Amino acid sequence: MSHTLVERTGALALDIDAQRLLRRVEELGRIGADPATGGVTRTGFSPADREARAYLMDEARTAGLFPAVDAAGNIVVRQRHTRRPTADRQVVMMGSHLDTVVDGGRLDGAYGVIAALEVLQTVVESGIALPREPVAIAFANEEGALFPQPFWGSMAVAGRIAELPREPCDHQGRPLREALRLAGGDLDALGSASWPRQSVAAYLELHVEQGPVLERSGSRIGVVEAITGRIVLTLEIRGAAGHSGTTPMEARSDALAAAARVVLAAEHIAGRRKLCRVATVGRLAPHPNTPNTIAGTVRMTVDLRDTDVWRAGDAEEALRTMLCDIAEATGTEIEVVAETRSDPVSTDRRLRAAIAGSAEELGLLHEELPSGAGHDAQFMADIAPIGMIFVPSIGGVSHVPEENTAPEDLVAGARVLLRSALRTIGLEEL
């Protein structure tokens, strides 16, 4: 692996400021924290998300760096010169997301953003001139927990503007336009958030594993080989509301009873038939949701995942067939009212080698593994080679208040990100 372009600069001797990294992780983790549960809620473009964004931009400015918000609401942090990147003035981008799920953890996304800022600040403070500019980014609305377009910001950077809803709304139908403006974005200028072709030489994302693999094997670093594909169908089930006491069973079109069958169908598709790796109903909203009224409508989501796009497709087809059968059996109408898709992607061989080589140089046991979670990296793969670094999750849990990673692993991951970024910046053949 030739990274001589950087070796001569002495940059590979740089180290991050571990205490600064851990301080920022803790400070950021307090924003949107719920003392009752210990969880963090910073759904995309919510007031808590805006507070976290302001924190990141303040830290960047204090570090003498230049944060800027693009039209999609992404925060891009650069060093002094802000010349527009082009194919012959490339950047190496590092980042993740600040937004969270509801009552989630303080590391999912946020850790990767703080580590990217730490790496950028370390390089800029060294004064070492590098052949490519390192850039840190906080992608907007990766989770899609409030406004249900996950990977919003990375889709915009990757130029997938056409795939974004024209007038996006949250789950209650409230428009995104104003919330995006308050975050510094502009719904009418989304196209300006995409980066010129070839301007990003590579994208690296550091993230907590969110699963049990590294903890079980004892590896300190995960070299991600592929990121799962994901299909999320939003269903509307329409039955007939009615009095729970006076409506005979045979005269009902119970939307919630139909929804229950959909939940079991999703479990059956992945759990029993194993058509895809996992299937989950995470959101289920009956109306009117009162004890003595038969539910007239239900809104729910079905999340299907697999690293093989054909298997995910087979699972979707099986589900759609089962939805027809359930509708007929329950006398309801079941409509797919929205769907979001992200294809499985592989990481770049050269970046995997840079990550593995960096872990080895730092004496850290590492292994290759797939990601069962989706990440902004899988959209950045549209415009650049991608690499992903995992650190162990204690108990293998995430998207819950108990999400945690040992401080020494947080520091180790950031050190691998620094070294991998420097190796990548020095790669002649990108």
Which residue, 132 or 305, is less far from ligand HGY as judged by CB?
A: 305
Inter-CA distances, 33 with 117, 407, 426, Å: 22, 19, 40
Which residue, 228 or 297, is less far from ligand HGY as judged by CB?
A: 228
Q: How far is the CB of 229 from Mn ion (least distance, A)?
A: 16
**CA 312 to CA 355: how far, in whole Å?**
29
- Residue 139 phi, psi dihedral angles, 5° rounding: -75, 145
Q: Of 218-237, which residues contact Mn ion (CB under 5 A)?
A: none
Q: How far is the CB of 282 from ligand HGY (least distance, A)?
A: 9
User: Which segments within 153-243 are labelled E, that is strand?
Assistant: 200-208, 221-227, 229-238, 242-243
Relative to beta strand 75-78, strand 66-69 is: antiparallel
DSSP for 192-212, written as a single string = GGSPPTT-EEEEEEEEE--SS
286 binds Mn ion (CB under 5 A): no
Question: One symbol per residue from 359 to 398: x for binding ligand HGY (CB under 6 A), - otherwise; what is it?
Answer: --------------xx------------------------
Which residue, 38 or 372, is less far from ligand HGY as judged by CB?
A: 372
Residue in the structure block whose two tokens are 């400015």:
61
The structure tokens listed for 230 are 């994901």
153 binds ligand HGY (CB under 6 A): no
Inter-CA distances, 291 with 172, 252, 265, 283, 286, Å: 22, 16, 25, 19, 11
Residue 353 touches which of Mn ion, ligand HGY, none (Cβ within 5-8 Å per kind): none
Residue 150 touches which of ligand HGY, Mn ion, none (Cβ within 5-8 Å per kind): ligand HGY
Which residue, 144 or 286, is less far from ligand HGY as judged by CB?
A: 144
Q: Of 95-134, which residues contact Mn ion (CB under 5 A)?
A: 108-109
Which residue, 110 or 120, is less far from Mn ion as judged by CB?
A: 110
150 binds ligand HGY (CB under 6 A): yes
142 binds ligand HGY (CB under 6 A): yes
Residue from 59, 99, 143, 403 touching ligand HGY (CB under 6 A): that is 143
**CA 266 to CA 305: how far, in whole Å?**
11
Residue 374 touches which of ligand HGY, Mn ion, none (Cβ within 5-8 Å per kind): ligand HGY
Nearest in space to 114 (alpha carbons), one of 427, 422, 429, 411: 411
Residue in the structure block whose two tokens are 């040992």:
406
| Residues in touch with ligand HGY (CB under 6 A) | 142-143, 150, 373-374
| Residues in touch with Mn ion (CB under 5 A) | 108-109
